[in-house]
Every structure is written in structure tokens, then in C-alpha cells.
Amino acid sequence: MTEADVLVIGSGISGLSYAIKISEQLPDTKIIIVTKADEGESNTKYAQGGLAVVTDFDKDNFQKHIDDTMRAGDGENERSIVEMVIQEGPARFQELVNWGTRFDKGNDGDYKLGREGGHTENRIVHHKDITGFEIERALLKTANQSPNIQILDHHYVIDIITDHHVPGKPFDKKNINCYGAYVLDQKDKKIKKITAKITLVATGGAGHVYKNTTNPLIATGDGIAFVHRARGKVSNMQYYQFHPTAMYSKRDGMLFLVSEALRGDGAKLRTKNGEPFMHKYDEREELASRDIVARAIDNELITRGEDYVGLDCRNMDREKFIEHFPNIYKKCIAEGIDPFQQLIPVVPACHYLMGGIDVDRNGQSSINYLFAVGECTNSGLHGANRLASNSLLEGLVFGHNAAMKSVEYLKNDVFNYSDLSQIPEWNDDGMKIMDEMVLVSYLRKQLQEMMSDLVAIVKSNNRLELAKRKQQDIFEAVTELYNYSILSPQLSELRNLVNVSYLIIKHSLQMKENKGSFYNKDLANKPLTII
């Protein structure tokens, strides 16, 4: 058994900034961070564009950023949350800088500000085109220097511990408490109990519920799934954003993200044979919000019967391109593409989930002493579609608020120590080692293909009903495997992806109108094109 004051699940911007904040406030608090891969592997690491925050108050202001966020979210955002996040943004950004994060500056010493789709002003602070990587580096360094923070890598959370694990305790689904988690130590193959007074879920998205995604392999919806199984409230799972421009590949899996900032700097979308098309879909053309651009590309591919469209960078400033987007340039060259001579082949790919675990402005979920921050949540910030580069901002602001609330709980010492002491160890008696992992990989592939074909950018009532039936069949097969097998990360991830797919389909079927990233052609009251 391992005991902690605070258990953090996930090591991206949300989890790390939260842990650092508590460590600074309460240096005697024992904080354990568990992450299922290497400590630096997270969705944060792969964020290219940057952090949306108002820094140039001569040209920009909070109201403009608020209006842009609300417009992108199709009015489904909670305005009070949007206002809070954006107004707190500059202070949280400064903390990132204080923790050692480097952002690009011009010769005048001011931050270089990029612009992405949906933004009316240049407000994206960045570190070249690897902003997330730089933030992750700085936060990890800070966390590792904190004597009361312990990071356990290759530790996979199976399920959170709640009241129903306490022997003899009646289960009240309206008043559920969290007491930590059961965690698989992948090095010694044992599932251990980690009890905690407070638990934070910062597990990122669930991109691998689809065949093609910009998310790393770890993005399998773990946090959403185990909170849902614990009867925590989850909502808005129908809102899944597809990034318009991932580099085309004949291989399924994680696709290389071609940052939206390229279009902000002047890159244009073209058909394979070089024809412009965005003017047919939105007056903002390439700078329309992601949902519009993704649907436009999807429609062009379907109507033309082609595999990809092209991103035209041939008229961009070569020196500026290589300086600002060195990683993208390097990837293009590695793939045999000269972006100054050829179109970059791009396709939409599953990118960001706007729904998830319901939380309040402090990141508190519907389960007591269980906080959640970042992409795994429905915070109210993004509404029906996330504005580009608002995700890192969300992680910082909600990470701060959750940390301050956690500090308050810890100072007041409000915890049920009797329940904490009664949590049993994990029991896998009678379970068998699975000798046919091919079943897991087969079912995962089946699930991903079903979701990609039937529940992706454009949906229909018939597709969703068919998906519901197919999902049930996969669920029953996976449940049978789970009930009789010693758990592995692969089986547990599949179980989580099945849970996530159920929620996406269920919430999609409940929709009565198209909003933001959600589009059902049977609910459409206007054509996709404007001309």
C-alpha cells in the first residue's frame, strides 16, 4: 500500500502545474504523480501552436478574446467561465515564465505573437513550433526539483477508489467520495493501492477511439472512462474536434500535426490540383474555426474521391517559415516534401475533445475530493468547439484554481480517515493471464474503424444507430475478456475506449441540432457551402 496526501493522474500541463502549486503552498504535503508512460509523455508535449493569452493591450483586450472564444464555441460556452479563464490568463502565463518556460521574443524584447483560426488578433505566445514540448520541459524540471513531489512513471491507473470499495458501506450515488486509485505498476506487473485524501484526474483526451488522430498513443480516454464507471458526471462527449490539417499518411495511428499557425501566417488550402476551395464555405476562408475548415476538407475529399488536400506554403517567406516552424519543415523534408515547391498533403484528424468530466470553476467533479483538469473535462470554456490554443490556457487556470481549493481542503483537514484505512488491496484471484492478445488488438481496430466510419466529422441518424449496435457487440466481447483476465494496460485501454465510444454515441443521439464541431447531416438546415 502507498499513501499520499495528493494523487495526481497525468503529467501534462494540468497535472504538473497543479502539483507544483500545492507543493509551493504546502511544502510538507506528500504529492504522488502517476503517469502511464515516460514522465514527459503527454498531450501537452505535442502542442505546436502555443498559448492564447492577451499580452499586447494596445491592440488586443480581454473582450476580444472572450468574443472569439464564444464565437468558436457556438455560444455553448459558459460565459462566466470564459471570462474567468481569459482574465486570469496573463497571471498564469507569467507563472509559466517564472518556472523557466521560454517564449519567442522579437528584437524589441516583446513576445512574438502568432494568430490562428478563429482569432481576431495576434495573441498566441509560442516557442517556435514546439511550444508544448518547451512547457513540458520547464514544468518537469520544476516538479523534479520539488522534494515533496514523487513522479511514478509507467504506472497505469485501472480505476479510482470510491465508497463502493469500502467494506460494508452503503453506496449513495448522490454523495460519492474518492479515496485514491488502483494502479498497475508496469515494471513489476502488480496492481497496487494508492490511497489519497485528494485525487486529480489530468489524463488528457481520447483521440485513439478513432483510426487517425494527432494525439499520442497514451490518449485513450482513461480518466473519463474510470470516472464514468465510478458514477461521476460526464457530458458533451458529442463535441469532438477534428484538426483540419494533419499530415496525410497511409498508416493509421498518430498523424503529424501541421499547425494552424501556418494558415495564420498565410498558408492556403488547395485541392490536389491546386484549386482554392475555402471561399465556398466561409468568408474567413482559411482562418475560419476548426469545425468549419475540417468539414470543408471532408466534403471536398468525399465529392472529389480523393485522399487528401494540399496546404500551399509556396508564397510564404522561406526564412520566416524555417525559423518559426522548424519542426514542421524538418518533418516535410523527412517525408520528401519541399514546402516551397510542393503542396503539403493534409487531412483532418481527431484532435481535441471538448466534453468530458463535469467540473466547476475550481475543477471539482461531481465526486467529492476528486478534481479534474484539462482535456478530460467539460469545464464550460470551449462550448461546442475549442478556439485554437485555448487548451494550454485552460490547463493553467483550472490547475491553479483546483490547487487553491485542494490547499483549502488540506488545511481544514476535512477527510474521512476511517474510510481511507479500510480500502482493500486489489484482488485478482481466479483471473487468468491472457494468452491471445490478438483479441485485444482485433477488437480495438474494430472499434476505431466503426467510430471513424460512422461517428466522425459528418454523422447521420442511420450511421449513429448502426454504431450503437456495433458498439454494444464490442462492449460485450471486451467485458467477457475483462471479467476473466489478469489486467494489462492494453486490455484496460481497450475497456476505456469502449466506455468513451459509448458516451460519444449516446450523447450524439441526444442532439436535436447541429452545434460547433457536432454535425449530423439529418439535422442540417442549411447547406455546407455559402456559394
Q: Which residue has the cell 517559415?
A: 321
- Sign, CA torsion 35/37/41/42: negative
What is 42-107 written as a DSSP string?
Answer: STGGG--S-EE----TTT--HHHHHHHHHHHTTT-S-HHHHHHHHHHHHHHHHHHHHTT----B-T
Alpha carbon of 456 to those of 207, 291, 307, 362, 453: distances in Å? 11, 12, 16, 31, 7
User: Do 371 and 402 meet the contact criterion of CB atoms below 8 Å apart?
Assistant: yes
Residues 6+ apart with CB under 8 A from 274: 310, 312, 343
Looking only at Cα atoms, what is the longest distance across the chain?
70
Give me the half-sphere count of Cα atoms (radius 13 Å) on the Cβ side of residue 427: 5
Q: Long-range contacts of range 89-95, CB-CB < 8 Å, 24 or more positions apart?
A: 89/52, 89/53, 89/54, 89/65, 89/393, 89/396, 89/397, 90/53, 90/54, 90/55, 92/53, 92/393, 92/396, 92/397, 92/400, 93/51, 93/53, 93/55, 93/125, 93/393, 93/396, 95/17, 95/396, 95/400
Alpha carbon distance 245, 233 (integer Å): 32
Alpha carbon distance 80, 365 (integer Å): 18
The one-letter code for the residue type at 77 is N
- Sign, CA torsion 84/87/88/93: positive
Radius of gyration, alpha carbons of the chain: 23
Grid coordinates belonging to 85: 479563464
Helix, strand or coil for residue 367? Answer: coil
Q: How many other C-beta atoms lie within 10 A of the C-beta of residue 297?
A: 24
User: Closest Cα partner for 7 from 408, 417, 410?
Assistant: 410
Of the chain, the end-to-end C-alpha distance in Å amounts to 64
Phi, psi of 236 (to 5 degrees): 60, 30
Interhelix angle 489-509/461-484, rounded to 10 degrees, is 150
Residues 6+ apart with CB under 8 A from 388: 49, 52, 72, 116, 117, 118, 119, 124, 260, 290
Where in the sequence numbering do the catalytic residues fall?
290
Q: Which residue has the cell 524589441?
A: 108
